[in-house]
Amino acid sequence: MKPLIVATDKAPKAIGPYSQAVRAGELLFCAGQIPLDPATGQLVPGGIKEQTARVLENIKGVLASQGIGPEHVVKTTVFMTNLADFAAMNEVYAQSFPTNPPARSTVQVAALPKGAQVEIEVIAAY
């Protein structure tokens, strides 16, 4: 089975040699999203809450381009530059997964592209 490469204008364009997402069978592997505005390609202003909200909107855009939504997400990985912001990120994150949230890992990293405070990648199932 050949993987299907996903490219959509509902999320920021890839800023490197990678795909926004790849469908392999019944799974969709989404590249990590940082808080870029799809229209401008620029980092959104604000703190961790605003950045998390933008990241989740970008993820929803990739999912929607494939006819699915957050309820199809089975696993997320959250990368943060400061785990002291975990509670604030989690408050916004919870709004996207109000029932039956996916499995999740959260890790602190030294830095993220473009100075972002948060990046989230997801795996979804059809």
In the chain, the number of structural domains is 1
Domain CATH for 21: 3.30.1330.40
Q: The whole model's pTM is what?
A: 0.96
How is residue 89 written in tokens? 């990120």
Q: Which residue has the tokens 């400061």?
A: 82
| DSSP secondary structure string for all residues of 92-126 | HHHHH--SSPPEEEEEE-S--GGG-SEEEEEEEE-
- Measuring CA to CA, how many Å separate 43 from each of 5, 23, 33, 98, 103? 25, 27, 11, 26, 27
Domain of residue 107, residue span: 4-125
pLDDT score at 1: 82
Q: What pLDDT is attached to residue 15? A: 85
List the chain residues with pLDDT less than 50.
none
